[in-house]
Amino acid sequence: MLRSYSRLFQRYPTIFTLTRLPTARLQTCHFSISSTCPTEGLRDFGLPNATWGPNLRNLYDKFLDLTNTGLWRRIPSHNTTVNHLEGIGKRMFLRNIDEDGVGFEYCMFYNKAESRMVCLFQPGPYLEGPPGYAHGGSIATIIDSTAGAGAVYTCGSVMTANLNINYLKPIPLGCTLLVDSYVEKIEGRKVYSRCHIQSHDALILHTEAMALYIKLG
C-alpha cells in the first residue's frame, strides 16, 4: 500500500495553486500582529521537549550553535501571534493541540543577512493524510508559516497571496525535516519567497514551493 502511494507520488508530483481570492476586508479585522514576543512569561513551544526524536534534537543543537556566530537567531514560538490582552481564547493554527508531539512539532531559526528562515519540523500522527504520511495541507501550512515568518522578519507584516507547491516525495510521520526558505526578491509590496523541505540528512528532497506575500500598510 505504502509503496503504491510512493510510486503514485513519484509519477505525478502534484501542483497546487491557491488562486487569488477577493481582497480581504483587513480594516474590519481587529487583531494586532507582533513579530516579537506577545506572550511574555508564557511557554515557548520552540524548545526541546520529550517527544523530540534524536534527529530533531541534533539539528536543533546544530542551529543553536550557529546562533553563537551572531548570524542566526532562534525564533520564540508561542501559541498565539495575537496580543494576549485582546486575544484570549485564540490559538495559532500550528499550536492548537495541547499535547506535545502529536501535531506540528517545530522550531524556527532566522538568518537576517540571507533573509532566510529555517524550520526544524517533526510532523506528528495527527497530521496524517495518506496512511503513515503527512497530509498535503499540513505540509502547505508549515511551508507558509516558515516562508511567511521569513517574509515578516525580513520586511514586516505580510499576507500570503499565492502559494505554489510541488509535492515530490511523501513525508513519513515522525521523521525530522528541514524546511528551508528565503526571500528571493522584493518588488514594491510584492515579496517573492522560495522554500524547500528536505530530510534531516539532506538525502531526500520532499517538497519545493514558491510563495508570494504582499506587504501590508
Site string for ligand 3VV, 104-143 (x = CB under 6 A): ----------------------------------------
* Residue 100 annotated among the catalytic residues of the structure: no
Q: 3-state class of 198 per DSSP?
A: strand
* Residues in contact with 107: Cβ distance below 8 Å, sequence separation at least 6, in sequence order: 46, 47, 60, 74, 75, 77, 119, 120
At closest approach, how far in Å is the CB of 205 from ligand 3VV?
23
- Given CA atoms 86, 159, 96, 39 in this order, what sign does their dihedral have? negative
Among 190, 192, 194, 208, binds ligand 3VV (CB under 6 A): 190
Position 211 contacts ligand 3VV (CB under 6 A): no
CA dihedral 149→150→155→159, nearest 10 degrees, is: -50
- Smaller CB separation from ligand 3VV, 151 or 173: 151
The grid coordinates of residue 141 equal 501550512
- Binding to ligand 3VV (CB under 6 A) within 68-107 occurs at 81
Q: Of residues 61, 98, 144, 180, which has the active-site annotation? A: 144
Q: What's the closest the beta carbon of residue 103 comes to ligand 3VV, in angstroms? A: 15
| Contact between residue 38 and residue 78 where contact means Cβ atoms under 8 Å apart | yes
Q: Is 39 in the site for ligand 3VV (CB under 6 A)?
A: no
Using CB under 6 A as the binding rule, whether residue 189 contacts ligand 3VV is answered as yes
CA-wise closest residue to 142 among 109, 183, 90, 177: 177
Q: Does 161 bind ligand 3VV (CB under 6 A)?
A: yes
Q: How far is the CB of 96 from ligand 3VV (least distance, A)?
A: 13
| DSSP character string of 133-197 | BB-HHHHHHHHHHHHHHHHHHHHS-EEEEEEEEEE-S--BTT--EEEEEEEEEEETTEEEEEEEE
Is residue 80 within 8 Å of 92, Cβ to Cβ?
Answer: yes
User: Contact region for ligand 3VV (CB under 6 A) — 47-55, 164-172, 186-194, 197-205?
Assistant: 186-194
> Residue 23 gets which letter from DSSP?
P
Which CB sits closer to ligand 3VV, 186 or 204? 186
Binding site for ligand 3VV (CB under 6 A): 20-21, 23-24, 33, 35, 81, 144-145, 148-149, 152, 158-162, 188-190, 212, 214
